[in-house]
């Protein structure tokens, strides 16, 4: 009787903490919400109901993503998914899939993010819930924005807004309007003409003003601060500096009062940009330096890099070349650290995902009869050994190229035979591309090896940003790279290689050195037709040489061998 009373007390505690965590979500108090959701989860696990555990994990993941803990959000979101699936809760699945997508975007895994928002749309459709559909479309728009496809991003966000207006959802409307405002003022920088930029900004202004009205009506201070910040940037780009400063000051006061540290830092940088636009270079430098001082000691390398880049440009404009050079040099270790952090995060996420999948497999196996257990035992044991080997290999320093952070030739030699065997056994698709920088010797000769190293790192980053986490990227030596497209047909791999080639050609290489330009040549072949790794790499190299002979800056696909 006492045990039952204790369980009921924990159940009541879980429900109470969960309700409070949801109230914190609506108020924008995400740190407090994360603490309450964690309390709800602990109580729910003691009490037992899986549905309650799933709801607590869902809210915990959402709050963690909002306060910048993307990796933890992914871990808890992935735990919630099978519980929602077991309970046939399509609405809960759609919610947590949206959170997972945003968290994957934050760690640079945009391919995984797109896969999750696609599933979120399907789950929202199954739940027949227009509010969830609005959120899923909104998050799809954000994902395309992160991938650089602004036109598609706007279309999805407008669809989300249309549904939100139809159902009268204030939260959904605010999010769609705010994200549209942010998208349009960022897109204005890339507009073809000043008139086109003006049109984008005026549309963004209208969306931002409506978002601010909704945020003010809700009383959610986080939304109000973000809305003021976005409006400040739109008005800045429109040249309406006094109005811009008013909104930035209001956003900054809210951020300071409620401890929104990341937003507060961004707003200092925004004010510095305003002074820069006005030609008040000394004031701009002072504010950028203030933001830089506050950002030091944090792990926000993106913010630090942005501040150093802004100071590099402004000192260069003022003619203070020594300071400009100092800030440019400060960018390089930050970029290396960003790449290392991304690789480390992706490795940890892979390990966590494998551990979670293993735990789920073991739980499923426990529910099967003895015969199925006996048949699967050998397979599971082999799979676990392979996963353990892979986990160890991911952490081994010897398998990483020290300059770019990509895999090296030794890792390719280790993994490629297994991928070939797996593709033959499962009759799966597998493609390999040899990538070589065109006229790279001229870059070293003209600009020096330090610039050459920066170019190699930049190419590695472009490859990482435009491929999936499941693909294998390696620097084979010198200026030659290799991309192994796992589960990708030769036709799809050709399209990806064309995107890689274009991304390199379109990159602003003048950021590294004035007058610098770069292209790549790619040789691509279908790996499943080869049983020998050496022969496969020779085919890819032959296609690469064919691309070089044909004029460079092109993709050459090897003919399928018989």
Give the phi and the psi of residue 522 in degrees, each rounded to 5. -130, 130
pLDDT at 349 over 80: no
Cα angle 19, 20, 23 (rounded to 5 degrees) comes to 90
Give the phi and the psi of residue 526 in degrees, each rounded to 5. -80, 115
Point out the least confidently predicted range of 65-79, 265-279, 295-309, 404-418. 295-309
pLDDT at 395 over 70: no
Point out the least confidently predicted range of 88-97, 293-302, 404-413. 293-302
Burial class (CB in 10 A: 0-12, 13-18, 19+), 10: middle
- Residues 6 or more apart whose Cβ sits within 8 Å of residue 367: none
Which pLDDT tens digit goes with each residue over 91-108?
A: 999 999 999 999 998 888
Alpha carbons 39 and 60: distance in angstroms, whole number: 10
Task: Tell me the helix, strand and coil percentages in the chain, rounded to 5.
Answer: 80, 5, 15
Element (H or E) spanning 432, and its range?
A: strand 430-437
Task: Judge whether 147 and 114 are in contact, CB under 8 Å.
Answer: yes
pLDDT of the residue at 393: 55
pLDDT of the residue at 206: 95
pLDDT at 234 over 80: yes
Cα angle 299, 305, 307 (rounded to 5 degrees) comes to 105
Instruction: Work out the percent of the chain whose per-residue pLDDT is above 70.
Output: 86
Of residues 230 and 292, more confidently modeled? 230
pLDDT at 374 over 70: no
pLDDT at 337 over 90: no
DSSP structure class, residue 429 = -
Give the phi and the psi of residue 54 in degrees, each rounded to 5. -60, -45
Q: How many residues does the chain have?
A: 562
Of residues 297 and 188, more confidently modeled? 188
pTM: 0.57
DSSP structure class, residue 560 = P
How many CB atoms neighbour CB 442 within 10 A? 9
Element (H or E) spanning 426, and its range?
A: helix 409-426
DSSP structure class, residue 191 = -
Question: Nearest CA to 404 among 355, 458, 345?
Answer: 458
pLDDT at 514 over 70: yes
Task: Judge whether 438 and 429 are in contact, CB under 8 Å.
Answer: no
pLDDT at 229 over 80: yes
pLDDT of the residue at 308: 78
Alpha carbons 233 and 248: distance in angstroms, whole number: 8
pLDDT at 110 over 50: yes
pLDDT at 1 over 50: no
* DSSP bridge pairs for 320: none
Q: How confident is the model at residue 67 (pLDDT cuts 50, 70, 90)?
A: confident
Cα angle 199, 200, 202 (rounded to 5 degrees) comes to 65
Of residues 1 and 296, more confidently modeled? 296
Of residues 469 and 328, more confidently modeled? 469
Point out the least confidently predicted range of 255-259, 416-420, 465-469. 255-259
pLDDT of the residue at 291: 77
pLDDT of the residue at 148: 87
Q: How confident is the model at residue 307 (pLDDT cuts 50, 70, 90)?
A: confident
Distances from the Cα of 357 to the Cαs of 79, 111, 341, 384, 418, in angstroms? 10, 19, 24, 11, 21
pLDDT of the residue at 482: 96
pLDDT of the residue at 341: 63
Alpha carbons 268 and 138: distance in angstroms, whole number: 28
Of residues 152 and 393, more confidently modeled? 152
Instruction: Work out the percent of the chain whose per-residue pLDDT is above 90.
Output: 55
Instruction: Work out whether the CA dihedral 388, 389, 393, 394 comes out positive or negative.
Output: negative
Over range 181-188, report the average pLDDT: 90
Cα angle 71, 75, 81 (rounded to 5 degrees) comes to 135
Task: Judge whether 104 and 145 are in contact, CB under 8 Å.
Answer: no
Alpha carbons 352 and 358: distance in angstroms, whole number: 10
How many CB atoms neighbour CB 115 within 10 A? 17
Q: What radius of gyration do the chain's Cα atoms show? A: 26
Q: In this structure, what token pair is assigned to residue 136? A: 């899923």
Give the phi and the psi of residue 475 in degrees, each rounded to 5. -95, 115
Give the phi and the psi of residue 403 in degrees, each rounded to 5. -75, -45
DSSP structure class, residue 407 = B
pLDDT at 427 over 80: yes
Give the phi and the psi of residue 330 in degrees, each rounded to 5. -70, -20
Over range 36-64, report the average pLDDT: 92
pLDDT at 562 over 50: no
Distances from the Cα of 222 to the Cαs of 27, 143, 175, 245, 256, in angstroms? 8, 22, 12, 19, 11
pLDDT of the residue at 559: 78
Point out the least confidently predicted range of 7-11, 184-188, 338-342. 338-342
pLDDT of the residue at 394: 54
Over range 129-140, report the average pLDDT: 94
Give the chain's mean pLDDT: 86
Q: How confident is the model at residue 2 (pLDDT cuts 50, 70, 90)?
A: very low
Over range 297-312, report the average pLDDT: 72
pLDDT of the residue at 392: 62
pLDDT of the residue at 378: 61
pLDDT of the residue at 464: 94
Over range 538-552, report the average pLDDT: 94
Give the ranges where 219-320 is alpha helix by DSSP (H): 221-237, 241-258, 261-277, 281-295, 301-318
pLDDT at 458 over 90: yes
């Amino acid at each position: 009787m006492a045990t039952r009373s204790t369980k009921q007390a924990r159940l009541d505690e879980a429900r109470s903490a969960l309700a409070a965590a949801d109230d914190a979500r609506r108020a924008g108090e995400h740190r407090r919400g994360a603490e309450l959701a964690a309390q709800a989860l602990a109580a729910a696990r003691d009490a037992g109901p899986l549905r309650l555990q799933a709801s607590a994990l869902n809210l915990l993941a959402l709050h963690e993503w909002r306060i910048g803990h993307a990796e933890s959000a992914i871990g808890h979101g992935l735990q919630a998914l099978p519980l929602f699936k077991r309970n046939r809760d399509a609405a809960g699945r759609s919610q947590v899939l949206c959170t997972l997508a945003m968290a994957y975007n934050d760690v640079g895994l945009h391919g995984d993010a797109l896969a999750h928002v696609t599933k979120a749309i399907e789950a929202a459709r199954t739940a027949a819930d227009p509010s969830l559909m609005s959120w899923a479309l909104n998050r799809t728009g954000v994902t395309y924005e992160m991938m650089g496809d602004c036109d598609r991003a706007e279309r999805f966000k407008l669809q989300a807004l249309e549904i939100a207006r139809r159902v009268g959802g204030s939260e959904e409307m605010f999010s769609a309007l705010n994200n549209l405002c942010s998208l349009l003022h960022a897109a204005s920088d890339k507009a073809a003409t000043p008139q086109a930029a003006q049109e984008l900004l005026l549309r963004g202004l209208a969306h931002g003003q409506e978002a601010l009205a909704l945020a003010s009506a809700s009383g959610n201070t986080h939304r109000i601060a973000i809305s003021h910040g976005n409006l400040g940037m739109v008005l800045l780009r429109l040249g309406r500096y006094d109005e811009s400063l008013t909104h930035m000051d209001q956003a900054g006061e809210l951020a300071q009062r409620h401890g929104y540290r990341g937003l507060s830092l961004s707003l200092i940088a925004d004010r510095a940009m305003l002074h820069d636009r006005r030609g008040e270079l000394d004031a701009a430098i002072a504010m950028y330096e203030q933001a830089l001082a506050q950002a030091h000691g944090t792990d926000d390398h993106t913010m630090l890099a942005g501040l150093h880049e802004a100071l590099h440009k402004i000192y260069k404009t003022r003619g203070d070349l020594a300071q400009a050079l100092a800030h440019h040099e400060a960018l390089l270790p930050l970029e290396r650290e960003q790449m290392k952090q991304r690789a480390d995060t992706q490795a940890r996420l892979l390990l966590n995902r494998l551990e979670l999948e293993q735990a789920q497999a073991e739980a499923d196996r426990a529910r099967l009869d003895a015969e199925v257990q006996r048949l699967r035992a050998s397979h599971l044991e082999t799979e676990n050994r392979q996963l353990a080997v892979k986990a160890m290999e991911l952490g081994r320093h010897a398998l990483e190229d020290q300059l770019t952070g990509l895999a090296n030739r030794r890792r390719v030699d280790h993994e490629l035979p297994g991928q070939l065997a797996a593709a033959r056994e499962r009759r799966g698709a597998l493609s390999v591309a040899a990538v070589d920088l065109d006229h790279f010797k001229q870059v070293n000769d003209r600009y020096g090896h330090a610039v050459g190293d920066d170019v190699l790192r930049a190419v590695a980053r472009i490859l990482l940003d435009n491929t999936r986490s499941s693909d294998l990227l390696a620097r084979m030596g010198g200026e030659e790279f290799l991309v192994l497209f796992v589960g990708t047909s030769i036709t799809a791999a050709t399209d990806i290689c064309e995107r890689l080639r274009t991304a390199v050609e379109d990159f602003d290489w003048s950021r590294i050195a004035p007058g610098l330009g770069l292209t790549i040549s790619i040789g691509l072949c279908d790996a499943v037709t080869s049983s020998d790794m050496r022969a496969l790499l020779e085919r890819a190299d032959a296609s690469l040489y064919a691309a070089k002979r044909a004029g460079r800056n092109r993709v050459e696909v090897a003919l399928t061998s018989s």
